[in-house]
Homo-oligomer: A and B are copies of this chain.
Amino acid sequence: MTQTLRAPRSDNRLPQILDESARLFREKGYAATSMRDIATAVDMLPGSLYYHFAAKEDLLVAVYEEGVRLITDKVRAAIARQTDPWQKLEAAAVAHLEALLKTGDYALVVIRVLPQDVPKAAARLVALRDGYDNLFAQLVAALPLPPQTDRQSFRLLLLGALNWSQHWYHDGGRHSPRTIARSFLRLLREAQLP
C-alpha cells in the first residue's frame, strides 16, 4: 500500500483559525461574525479559510465540538476524584463553571450560540449538548434525596443557574467561578439535610 496521505504541516494554522473563530463567535455571536472578520483576525484572505472549512457553519460546528469536548473532559476528570455523590456533583458544578468562565471562548460558544442559528447543523449541536446534559442527570440520579424530590427540576435548576452566570459574571468580581458554584450547591443541598 502506498502512503497517499501526507502528514499535516508542522506550523498548522488550523488551531489559530479555531481560536479566533471561537473568540469572535463568543464576542459577537454567529450571525454577526463574518468570514472576513475571522480572516482578518488570523491574517488571511477570506477565501483562504475555505481550504480548511467548506462553509461557515462547519467552522462553527468545529468550535462547538471542541467546546463540548473541553467541558466534558474537565467535568469527567473532576468527578473521578470524588466518591461521595454530593461531592461529585459539587466538583462537577465547579468544573462546569470554571470551564465556562475561565477556560476561554470555546466553552462559552456552546451555551451562547443557539442551534437554531445554524439550521443545517442544528441537530448535530443539540445531540452534542444532550450528551453532556446526560452526565449531570446521572450525577443527580445518584444523590440521596427525599423520595418525593423532582430530580429533573433539580438538575434544570442547577444547570440553568450555572449557565446563566455568563450574563452577570465578570472577571474582577468578588466571587470566583468556584465560589459561585459552591454557594449555588449549598443553597440546594441545605434543602435536603436533616
Interface residues of A (CB under 8 A from B): 27-29, 31-32, 114, 116-117, 149-150, 153-154, 156-165, 167-168, 175, 180, 183-184, 187-192
- Grouping DSSP codes into helix (H, G, I), strand (E, B) and loop, the A interface class, with mixed when no group exceeds half, is helix
A163 — which chain B residues lie within 8 A by C-beta? 160, 164
Q: Taking the full assembly, how many copies of this chain does it contain?
A: 2
When C-beta atoms are compared, the residue in chain B nearest to A154 turns out to be B187
A116 — which chain B residues lie within 8 A by C-beta? 27-28
When C-beta atoms are compared, the residue in chain B nearest to A32 turns out to be B31
Q: CA A183 – CA B188 in complex, angstroms? A: 12
- Which 9 residue pairs spanning A and B have beta carbons closest together? A160-B164, A191-B191, A190-B191, A31-B31, A160-B161, A31-B32, A153-B183, A157-B161, A161-B161
Q: CA A157 – CA B182 in complex, angstroms? A: 11
A164 — which chain B residues lie within 8 A by C-beta? 156, 159-161, 163-164
Contact of A187 among B28, B114, B117, B191 (CB under 8 A): B191
**CB-CB under 8 A for A114 and B29, given A164-B163, A191-B190:** yes
Shortest CB-to-CB span from A149 to chain B, Å, is 8
Q: CA A27 – CA B116 in complex, angstroms? A: 8
A165 — which chain B residues lie within 8 A by C-beta? 156, 160
Q: CA A140 – CA B38 in complex, angstroms? A: 44
Tell me whether B150 and A156 are in contact (CB under 8 A).
Answer: no
A27 — which chain B residues lie within 8 A by C-beta? 116
A sample of 30 cross-chain residue pairs with beta-carbon separation below 8 angstroms, ordered by A number, consists of: A28-B31, A28-B116, A28-B117, A29-B29, A29-B117, A31-B31, A150-B187, A153-B175, A153-B180, A153-B183, A153-B187, A154-B187, A156-B161, A156-B165, A156-B168, A157-B184, A157-B187, A158-B161, A159-B164, A160-B160, A160-B162, A160-B164, A160-B167, A161-B161, A163-B164, A164-B164, A187-B188, A187-B191, A188-B188, A190-B191
